[in-house]
Amino acid sequence: MFRLLRGSISRIMRYSGAGEFSRRYAVMNAFDGIVTILGIVLGSTLLGEASAGNIVAAGVGALIAMAISGVSGTYMAEKAEQERRIRELEEAMLMKLDNSIIAEARKRAAVFSAIVNALAALVAGLVPLSPYFAVLSGSLTPHLAFYISLGLSLGFLFALGLFLGRIARSSMIVSGLKSLAIGVATILLITLLNLFL
């Protein structure tokens, strides 16, 4: 019936505004993914003698949990939000919009946002975790993997900051440095914790 809409992500974006919040979710969850892995890597290396296997297991476990929580949480929140918008529009139009492409696009937008949300955390988290996969395959030493992982985390955070700066059309460098500062603050806090424990 809706051959107009089928398979057209760009249409979903235009009709529901999903482009904007998907972008927001993607950045927010990429941040979450990176900082979580940064915490696991730092915590387990500084506070204890965790093996690369332990770090990979803890990291992958945390990322899967984040993806599941991202999918379910975003879907429910976004579905409620989109349904409210449809109801508001129905009140303005004085008619039901059940079979319209707007309602259809808004319902699909909730699914789309949920998937983006989960994937962003998963993919972003796997980047700083990747050196430990290399350790498991025997191509890196754990010591080197630790520094590469930190570098990747900070680099990715800086890149996200640049991206946010571009969206805000403000200084990309300042925005990149702000986001880098979040990573550095995480490192300092965990290192400080290490001194007291």
Rounded CA-CA distance 133/138 in Å is 9
By CB under 8 A, is residue 95 in contact with another protein?
yes
Task: Give residue 138's region: left, alpha or beta (phi > 0; psi -120 to 50).
Answer: left
- Residue whose CB is less far from another protein, 12 or 71: 12
Rounded CA-CA distance 132/50 in Å is 12
Largest CA distance in the chain: 66
Whether the CB-CB separation of 125 and 36 falls below 8 Å is answered with yes
By CB under 8 A, is residue 4 in contact with another protein?
yes
Q: Which residue type is seen at 162?
A: L
By CB under 8 A, is residue 97 in contact with another protein?
yes
Q: What is the closest distance, in whole angstroms, from the C-beta atom of residue 92 to another protein in the complex?
A: 4
What part of residues 105-164 is at the interface with another protein (CB under 8 A)? none
By CB under 8 A, is residue 89 in contact with another protein?
yes
By CB under 8 A, is residue 88 in contact with another protein?
yes
Kindly indicate which of the ranges 48-56, 62-70, 98-106, 110-118 contains the residues binding another protein, using the contact rule CB under 8 A: 98-106
Chain centre to alpha carbon of residue 106: 21
- How many residues bind another protein (CB under 8 A)? The answer is 16
Whether the CB-CB separation of 103 and 76 falls below 8 Å is answered with no
DSSP label of 170: S
Among the listed residues 32, 12, 36, the one whose alpha carbon sits nearest the alpha carbon of residue 22: 12
Of 6, 92, 137, 195, the one binding another protein (CB under 8 A) is: 92
Of 60, 64, 101, 187, the one binding another protein (CB under 8 A) is: 101
By CB under 8 A, is residue 103 in contact with another protein?
yes
Kindly indicate which of the ranges 76-84, 93-101, 122-130, 137-145 contains the residues binding another protein, using the contact rule CB under 8 A: 93-101
By CB under 8 A, is residue 9 in contact with another protein?
no
Q: Which residue type is seen at 13?
A: M
Within 13 A of 21's CA, how many CA atoms are on the CB side? 20
Q: Would you tell me which residues interact with another protein (CB under 8 A)?
A: 2, 4, 14-15, 88-89, 92-95, 97, 99-103
